[in-house]
Amino acid sequence: MALVDTAPTSIAPVAPGATPKGPAFQSTTKMRWGDALRALRKLLADKDDTVQVFEIMRALNGASTARGYQRLLTTREGGRMAYERQEFAARLMDDAWLDSFAPGTVGAAYRDFVRSQNFSAEGLAAVSREGQSQVDEAHPHAWFGRRTRDVHDIWHVLTGYHRDGLGEACLVAFSYAQTKGLGWAFIAGGAASKGLKGRAPYAKAIWQGYRRGKAAHWLLGEDYERLMAEPMEAARRRLGITPATVYDAIPPELRDESLPKAA
């Protein structure tokens, strides 16, 4: 998912104990396929139109978000993390914290990833808020959705998928296997259908992304404070994240053809 190169906005998640404004948060399982299809068409026409990713997620991922939160509560540390309700985007904007990670760690890889692109976690959060009043609600499911959003680029560095069109499509397929959110599957399917027209095995790479996600441990149950301090290769072994062999074999200059922009 492309981040936007923007400085932190003044909008912040609702603090614990604060009174949220606007309508009450509604956790819905209703599928809005028409809205998802319209957003997918826009996204396939312009892979950098990240707003459409969130439109698709809102249209199709309601049930998976609720299930993911309940699953978190069954993990060893999940109850504690849910109780603390840390807003991870704010943590990822802490330069001193990011600078504390030693070379070779997950945190150092993430730091290098976002700084080399001049992106920020808050930039992605700002995109997710566009036209929405409930993103920052003090509700367990809203918090879990924000947490899923905020670790996306950590998954980029863990999986080895870059920000090119194919890398994003592969990570979307990986994310579907991890979350069971139909929005991810919808985007991955659209990207794969586009990729069938390309000069490289794009669909095969996307399918491998799904299989890698299915084989890996459930990443949304991880304590990211601890994970960021782990050596990268040790973390990948522990989490069962296998190499992206098909993606890696495709020359970088061809990887954007999986999600071509409109002519």
pTM of the model: 0.82
Q: What is the pLDDT of residue 74?
A: 97
Q: What is the pLDDT of residue 59?
A: 85
Q: Where do we find the tokens 């404070």?
A: 225
Q: What is the pLDDT of residue 131?
A: 67
Domain parsing of the chain, residue ranges: 33-258
pLDDT along the chain (263 residues), means of 10: 35 44 53 86 83 86 89 97 95 96 98 91 82 80 93 97 93 96 89 74 94 98 97 98 97 74 34
- The three-class DSSP label of residue 8 is coil
Q: What is the pLDDT of residue 259?
A: 52
What is the Cα–Cα distance from 139 to 24, expressed in whole angstroms?
A: 9
- The three-class DSSP label of residue 105 is strand
Q: What is the pLDDT of residue 260?
A: 42
Q: What is the DSSP letter of 231?
A: B
What is the Cα–Cα distance from 257 to 77, expressed in whole angstroms?
A: 41
Q: Which residues, in sequence order, are bridge partners of residue 231?
A: 105
Q: What is the pLDDT of residue 24?
A: 47
Burial of 130 (0-12, 13-18, 19+ CB in 10 A): exposed
Q: What are phi and psi for residue 27, nearest 5 degrees?
A: -90, 105
Q: What is the pLDDT of residue 14?
A: 45
> 167 with 161: CB under 8 angstroms?
yes
CA distances from 127 to 13, 149, 210 (A): 14, 11, 25
Q: What are phi and psi for residue 105, nearest 5 degrees?
A: -90, 165
Closest by CA position to 183, among listed 170, 199, 172, 197: 172
Q: What is the pLDDT of residue 133?
A: 59
Q: What is the pLDDT of residue 226?
A: 97
Q: What is the pLDDT of residue 54?
A: 83
Q: What is the pLDDT of residue 19?
A: 45
Tokens of 23: 């309508």
What is the Cα–Cα distance from 108 to 95, expressed in whole angstroms?
A: 11
